[in-house]
Structures are given as C-alpha cells and as structure tokens.
Structure 1
Amino acid sequence: MNDKRLDSLKVAEASEAYGTPLRISRIKLVNYKFFYGEFELLVDGENLLVYGENGSGKSSIYKALELLTREKIENLAEDSRNIFNETGEIEIEFGFTNGTEFTITEDTEELPDYVDFLKGLSVFRPMLDYKKLLKVHYSEKPGNKEINLYGMFRQLLKDYPIDNETVLSDIKDLNKYFDELKKVVDGQLLANVNHLMHSYFDNDIRIDSFDYKVIIDDETGGAEPVINMIIDFKENQIKNYHSFLNEARLSALAVSIYFASIKRLIGGLEQESIKLLVLDDLLISLDMSNRLKLLNILKEEFTDFQIFFFTHDKELFELYKNKMDWKKFELYLDDSEDIHKPILKSGKSEIERAKEYFAKKDYDCCALLLRKGFEKILKSYLTPREQLDKNCNDLDLASLVGRTITKSSGENKSILGKLNSDRKHILNPLSHNDNRPVYSEELKQAMTDLAKLKKLLK
C-alpha cells in the first residue's frame, strides 16, 4: 500500500456519517483505459448526465464505477492500462461527500473497511446497460421458442440474503435453490415489476408467473435448470413473449425487472450503503415516449439514489438535460495528435451561458441564447403534437408562446406574458441587425424570469 492510500485512511471515521445521503463528489482516472495521464470529473454529489461520442472515454468512466461493485478487485493492470502508457501507475480515485477518499491501484484486492458504505453495491449491483436488458428477451440458442431466464436471475440475485450467513448463490441443491428463489421472485419482486410496468410503461402487459423446471440438454445430455416467464397481454397468456411483443415493450419489461430487483436487493441490506444507479446507453430501443417514461421512474422511484446516466445519443442528452437536476457534461474525442485525448465540455444551459455573456457585456449573444433557451423550455413543456400547427408544420416562437399561455394559469401565465413582451422588444431585436438601444436591466430581468419559468414548467 503506497503513501497516498495510507493518507486516505485518516478520514475513515467520516464514513460513519449516514445522517445525510452519501454521494460521490469526484472521480479521478490516471492512465486508466482510454485516459492517458490524469482526467478528473467533478460531480459534487449531484446526479450526472454524460453525452459521449464513440471512443471519447464514456465507457471507461462506466467501468471505473463498476469496480466499486466488485467483492474483489483483481488483475487491474491486465486490461486496464492505457495503451500509450506502459509503465505509469494506474489509479482510480473516488472522493465522497462525507470527506472520504478511496484510491484503487494495481495493488488493491478488495474494498477496505473504511469504505464499508460501498460494500452493499456488490449485492444490488446498480450497473445496467442494454446488453443486460437483452438477457430478458434474447436467446443465445437459435430456435429456442422460450427464453430461459435462469442465468439472468442466478447472476442478478446471487447475493440475495437468505439468512444471516447464507445468500442464494451458496445453495448448491437445485431443488432447494428453486424453492428459495421462488420466495424472492414470486412475491414482492413480481408485484414491483408489474407496478413499474403499469405505472410507467404499459397497462396491457403484466407478468403472470414464472415457470421453474429442469430439462435434459440435447447437446450435453446434462440437466439444465430453466425459468420461463409467462406474460399476460390484454388478459391473454403468452409464453413466447419475445417473438410477440415489439422491441420497445420488451425493453420496458426488462428495465422494470432490473429496477425492481435493485430496489428489492437494497431493501434487504443490513448495513447502510451508498445508493448509486449507473445506466449506460440503456434506451437504444426505446421510442421517445418511453424515454420520457423512464425519466419519470428515475425521478419518482430513485429519488434517494445518485444517478449516473451515460449516452452516445445526443438527441436523448438534449431531451434529458433540462428535465432533471444533474451535472451535465459532453465528451468528445481529440484525435489531432498520436495520443487520443478527451475533450470535456460542461453541458451548461442556455441561461447559464447567457449570464456569462451578460457579464462580458456581450448583450447580442446573451439575447440570442435567452431566445433559444426560451424556445427550448416551451418545447419541453408542450407535447410534440402541440408544437405543430394544423398542417403539421413546426410552430414559430411566437406561436409556441401563445399555445403555452393557453395551457397555463396563475404565475406561469404572468411570467409568460412578461417574457413574450421581452421577446418582442429585447430578444428579437438583439438577435437580429437592429440599432435600437439596449436596456441591460430589462435583459437581466428576462434572465431571472426565464430561470423561474424553467422551474415552474418543469
């Protein structure tokens, strides 16, 4: 153990402060996977939304967070060292809002006791990507009529506590294992999955039951445990659901199963644990309507979790960034030199950027960004259909304002009226070639009103 790790032991007593929600405050990567040299991401205990173009390091940050969910950290150097740095030390450093610092190096084998608040992560495993979702509806064996979910449940619930000394994966007798698994799956977990499906995604779909059995594998001749899921669709039982439901519904079903499992597992922990939820390119097969429904799940079902959301979909990033409170970053690839590096851009809102230009007395740019931000806020409030005229053409800003005013009342309506006046007399003229005088106080008030409207309409 090097000196840096010894220093971090001095703040061990801070890990006992469970009175306030514990969060990650920063992540520092040194010579780890994509990142050559040092790279630091300041999270400040907030939720994190990251857009990253392909090859910009997004997946490396996801993998670094995944290290916290392992019971043992082994062979870090084998596939983790940046290819351009053959000798430099690999470090993954985490800072937490309770003051604790934890550094993973090539010598680290397991989580030390002073970060015991991380140990629950290996039980409820909060890492989820589209590959895991596929396990719910994709069969690796061609020609299979039914999906075998045994492997998924075996891995997902392997550390579910049966008693003080036993977890599910400790049970070696298959009959006894199935008996215990049924108690976990067929009770509250099944009810929670159906709750998520009905409350957020689709009232027509319900998991009716799970069928547990052992069959003889035709290729090996050995016994194969099988768990099949039986779906109820509009009061009709469907066994081959993966060939009947469309991809969006299958993804919604998979999301509901994993989210319900995470909530079930964390509810069984005996000690306090940091609550993380790390999602990577989760919504590839979900349409826009279901993407917004998933956002509602995050806001309503995971309010006490720190959420890390990674995506390579710029449209999704733009959709999500103003609909939830989180730090926003964009990652781009700088391949101008032999050693590729990331370009980290803070995902500031138009209002935040407008304030910067206002401070520089660049009022034209300030007004242009406020006008753009005003339009974006209105579009986030109106449905896609409400943003179109009777001929299905996009509404201009004036028409968007009018339609939003029609839907609004009280303070919302009052602020919209003021901003509509600002649009005509300040924002529009400053966004075009216009020589009328600039009234900085009115521009400043427009920024205040727009920030207030954003909160009210959210």
Structure 2
Amino acid sequence: MKLHELHINDFKFFSQVEGDSPLLKIDGNHLLVYGENGSGKSTIYWALYTLLECSFKKSDDEVRKYFKKTGDESLVNIHATGTNNTYVKTILKDALGNPKTYRVSRKSSDMSIRANTDIRESNMASDFINYRVLFKLHSSKHSNKNNLWNWFLEEVFPYVKKSSDPCLIEFEALKEGPTKFLDLNGNQLFPTASLQDAPSDEEKIFYRNYRDYKQKWVTWHFWLETFLTNITTRANDLINHDFKYNFKIGLNIIKKFPTFQATDDKIKWTDPEIIISITEYEGIQNPAIKKPHTFLNEAKWSAIGLSLRFAILETRLYTADLKILVIDDMILSLDMCNRDVLLDIILNNYVNDYQIILLTHDRFFYELAKSKIAQNGIANWKYLEMFEDSSGTFPKPLIIEKTNQISKVWQLYHGKEFSMAANCLRKATEKLCNAYLSRQERINVNYSVKNLHEMLEAFRTKGMANGLNQNNLIKLIEYKNRILNPSSHYDIETPLFETELKRAIETIEALSIEANINV
C-alpha cells in the first residue's frame, strides 16, 4: 500500500483545517519538498513519526500527552484554542484503490492506534532520518574517547527493533535489575548468585530470578554485538563504493555486568561502550590511529554516520502496509560531494522498496534532487514547495505543488504572497525567453549574455515576426519595469500592484501558451 493523503490538524505549525480536508494529497507518489525555514516542513516528518510511534505506547496517557494543549510534550499548534481536535490521519490505498485509514488524537475512539498490528508493522518497516543524526555524531568529535554509545542510544536505537519490539524496551528493563523477591522475614531483596547456596529451599528457588536476568543480559549484549557486526560490514561497503573513501571502520563493545547487593534499592548499572576504530586506512591494515574521531575530517566523519544509518535501514527487512523513508534536512552537515552521494544512495537503493519523503530547506539541493530524478527517469514523484503564509491572524504553511513555474506563481498570488509571486514570475519570464530564443539570439555581439530587458526586446522582435499577440508583447516590456523588477516592490501592498501583477501573470501565461512553451 502507499500513502495517498496526510491530514494534519492543529499539530505543531499546522493550524486547523476544514473537516476531512487533506493537507497533503500525495497520491501514492514519492514526495520531494522544499520548505523555507519556518514554513512547517518538519511538521510532515513529526506527524508521520508520531502516528507510527504511538502504536508502541503502553498507555492512553502516553498518546494523549502529544495531543493536549498543555504539557511539556504537547505537539498542539500554539495558536490552537484547546477545544479543537488535534489529530494526524493517513489514508493508504492498495494497487486497486482500496483505502485504509489510520488516525491518532487524544480521543478515546483513536486510542485503537495503540497495539494496532498493521501500524506496528509499518513502524518497524519504515524509517525516519533527520539532521540530528550527523549533528550529534559531529558533537562526539569533541570528546576524548572513541565511544559512540550515546550517539547510538539517541539517534540509532530508537529506530531499531529486536524481534518484534523496539530494542530499547528490553534494554530499559535490564537497567531495572532482576525481579525482587520476599525473603523469609518479608523483606524485598534482589536475587544474587549466593542464593544458589541458600540454606533454605524457599529462598534457593529465587536463584532462578538471578539466573534468568543474567541470561537476558548476556543475550541482549550478544544481539548488540551481532547487530554491530552486520551494520559495520554494510557501512564499510557504502564508505568504499559509494562515498569512494579508502578506509574501513570497526565497532566493538565493552560491557560490564551490573553490580548489586541483595539489600540495594537499585542496581549499579554501567552502559556499554561502543568503540569505533579504523581497521584499514589507505591500504594499511590496523593503522595506529588512536582517535578516529579527531583523525578523520568532517566529510569522512559524515560519510561514516550516513553509512551506518543507511546500513541500519537495510536491517529492517519487514513487510507492512506502509513502508516509508522520511528524510528531513540531512544535508546540514554535508559538503557538496557528500550531498551528491546521499542523493545517489537514496535514488539507487531505496525507491523500489520505500515510499520516499525527502524534505529540505536548501533550494540548491531541492533543484539538484529534481534534476537527478529526471536524469534517472524515476517516475511517480510529486514536488511541493512550502512557505510561511503570514497573511492571516497568525502564520501558517503555504503549500504549493510544483507542476510548472506559472502554476506556482498563481498559487503564490492567491495566497497573497505578492512579492514571492512577482519574483517567481520573473523566473518564468526568463525561462520563456530562454526557451523561445536561440542561443545566438540570447547573446550580444560581444558574446556577453543579454540581461532580461535585452532578452524581452529580442523576444518581442521575434514574436512580432512569428505572429504572436502584439498587444501582449507590448505589455510584456511595460510589466518588466513595474512588476518584474525587484526594486519596484515597494508598493506591494497596494491594490494597484495586486491588479497589475494579475495582468502580468495572465500576459506571460498567454504568451507561453501561444508559443507552445511550458513555463
């Protein structure tokens, strides 16, 4: 099944919407979103993450805390009154168009999301990766140890399952220690190894609590060692073949069984350490690199983080109603070379197994992704752009589907974003001129590229000769100074500017249709 509609109501930056009105119609496509800072782009990430993650919550209150107006963990829109029903809803459809709807909110009727088998399976099969993955990893470069435990704990393990449950559920249970028992005097005690030789059979029987706990501790850490071995193998493959770096890493754990006395209130727990090492560098086996995190530059350190994260993604070999890969602003810590590799990895490895939702605030990366998608001939992508709509009482997202430049201009215009609409119209005009004029017609006699005014003059001359609408060609030059010149936007709030902008859009749209050019 594929995600077709995403409904978000009074959740984070998204305010109240009309009843049953989908905020995003994805229609089963992959989704590429450009969103300027403050546009609410990341709300898409957190809405999907919250809906899927709530399937593993142990109580209704653990779900409701996200959808109540008050509380430190509230995700309700700050402008919501508290009487509105904050919710996230998805509509999935199979190949035949048969729908399935999932919804999460504070309502009792939506608590069925907890323990919902289909949503749990979708959560296990999907993955969410954002900028914090690399940000937290780069923070570890300032430490004095090669220990990546905290990075794994915060940015990796929350997304990793052991058998059918998140791996941290069992880990947190282990930190509580073995199950206590009542001794013959009625005291609650931790079972210890000494119970094996206890004088009474009544107490000796509780040795099994200690034995079972130790076995669970050993089993969990064996699972961790196996998991690290598996992802290291795949990560090294990505480092060498995709990022083209000539080094390999190793991950080893240092573990210590907790200590406790029978009468202790709590056990003395020590988190394991995950030690990173360089096992091969430029063809040299086991080089004497004591501190890989300071020896490697940021580009290589980023390559390690991405390779490990994608290696972990490939361990999630689950079938489910929904398999989505949501990536939000992963490029913040990446140089240009690694940005290119990141796109190649996503487009080459995951578009067939996952429905991709790629979010970015970087315009260049957005255009680069569009170009690569087109070059690779990958079908079923939808392109959206998001801006902050400040025309109302409080800001809200303005979402524009990027079909062509003129469509974007109209959506900005109707959203009262006149300055952005005028700037976008200028780009549409430049695109029209570039497509209509030959290369020779776009350059001056001294081989310099013509500016917009010169190109419009050439467009008018050629258009007149080819029989394009003369009236529109004359207006085009007039609108260049009054609308298409950014310095003319000082009176942007006046009704006159709004009217002239509308006429300019209509004129350029009419010329593009007449010239049979899609702008």
TM-score of the superposed pair, with normalisation by structure 2 = 0.60
In 1, Cα distance between equivalents of 2:358 and 2:275: 31
Q: Deviations over 1:265-306 (max 9, x none)?
A: x21x3x434211101110112122221211111111102211
In 2, Cα distance between equivalents of 1:63 and 1:299: 23
Contact 2:140 2:293 survives alignment (8 Å) = no
Structure 1 pair 206–395 and aligned structure 2 pair: CA distance change class (3 A): farther
Identify unmatched segments of 5+ residues in structure 1.
1-21, 355-363, 376-393, 398-425, 452-458
Specify the alignment match of 1:205 in structure 2. Answer: 247
Structure 1 pair 76–123 and aligned structure 2 pair: CA distance change class (3 A): same
Whether 2:302 is the aligned partner of 1:302: answer no
Structure 1 pair 80–153 and aligned structure 2 pair: CA distance change class (3 A): closer
Q: CA deviation at 1:170?
A: 2.5
Specify the alignment match of 1:436 in structure 2. Answer: 465
Report the secondary structure of 1:192's partner residue: helix
Contact 1:146 1:240 survives alignment (8 Å) = yes
Alignment root-mean-square deviation, CA: 4.0
Q: Deviations over 1:363-421 (max 9, x none)?
A: x998853555799xxxxxxxxxxxxxxxxxx9969xxxxxxxxxxxxxxxxxxxxxxxx
Contact 1:157 1:168 survives alignment (8 Å) = yes
Report the secondary structure of 2:242's partner residue: helix
Report the secondary structure of 2:29's partner residue: coil
In 2, Cα distance between equivalents of 1:288 and 1:373: 29
Specify the alignment match of 1:4 in structure 2. Answer: none
**Aligned-partner residue type, residue 136 of structure 1:** L
Whether 2:229 is the aligned partner of 1:186: answer yes
Q: Deviations over 1:122-179 (max 9, x none)?
A: 3355111111233434239x64232333661587346866667996752634443221
Contact 2:11 2:87 survives alignment (8 Å) = yes
Whether 2:397 is the aligned partner of 1:346: answer no
Specify the alignment match of 1:40 in structure 2. Answer: 23
Pairing partner for 1:95 from 91, 95, 98: 91
Pairing partner for 2:296 from 196, 221, 245: 245
Contact 1:64 1:92 survives alignment (8 Å) = yes
Q: Deviations over 1:75-133 (max 9, x none)?
A: 232312222221111121211123112222212335268x7443224335511111123
Structure 1 pair 277–438 and aligned structure 2 pair: CA distance change class (3 A): farther
Report the secondary structure of 1:309's partner residue: strand
Specify the alignment match of 2:362 in structure 1. Answer: 313
Whether 2:334 is the aligned partner of 1:286: answer yes
In 2, Cα distance between equivalents of 1:63 and 1:147: 29
Q: CA deviation at 1:344?
A: 1.6
Q: CA deviation at 1:239?
A: 4.3
**Aligned-partner residue type, residue 315 of structure 1:** F
Pairing partner for 1:228 from 244, 269, 275: 275
Report the secondary structure of 2:44's partner residue: helix
Structure 1 pair 164–200 and aligned structure 2 pair: CA distance change class (3 A): closer
In 2, Cα distance between equivalents of 1:248 and 1:351: 39
Contact 1:277 1:307 survives alignment (8 Å) = yes
Whether 2:70 is the aligned partner of 1:77: answer no
Whether 2:226 is the aligned partner of 1:196: answer no
Report the secondary structure of 2:140's partner residue: coil
Report the secondary structure of 2:67's partner residue: helix
Whether 2:127 is the aligned partner of 1:126: answer yes
Q: What are the residue-to-residue correspondences of 1:411-422 with 2, within 5 Å?
A: none
Q: Deviations over 1:177-220 (max 9, x none)?
A: 22121122213x2221112222211331322x212113799xx9
Structure 1 pair 191–339 and aligned structure 2 pair: CA distance change class (3 A): same
Specify the alignment match of 1:14 in structure 2. Answer: none
Identity %, equivalent residues:
25
In 2, Cα distance between equivalents of 1:321 and 1:169: 40
Specify the alignment match of 1:336 in structure 2. Answer: 391
Q: What are the residue-to-residue correspondences of 1:308-457 with 2, within 5 Å?
A: 308-324=357-373, 325=379, 326-349=381-404, 368-370=430-432, 372=434, 429-430=458-459, 435-438=464-467
TM-score of the superposed pair, with normalisation by structure 1 = 0.68
User: Could you tell which deviates more after superposition, 302-311 or 323-332?
Assistant: 323-332
In 1, Cα distance between equivalents of 2:427 and 2:333: 38
Specify the alignment match of 1:390 in structure 2. Answer: none
Identify unmatched segments of 5+ residues in structure 2.
58-62, 69-73, 175-215, 259-266, 374-378, 410-425, 438-446, 470-511
Structure 1 pair 274–125 and aligned structure 2 pair: CA distance change class (3 A): closer
**Aligned-partner residue type, residue 145 of structure 2:** K
**Aligned-partner residue type, residue 177 of structure 1:** W
Larger Rg: 2
Specify the alignment match of 1:145 in structure 2. Answer: 145
Specify the alignment match of 2:262 in structure 1. Answer: none
In 2, Cα distance between equivalents of 1:165 and 1:311: 31
**Aligned-partner residue type, residue 86 of structure 2:** I
Structure 1 pair 445–68 and aligned structure 2 pair: CA distance change class (3 A): same
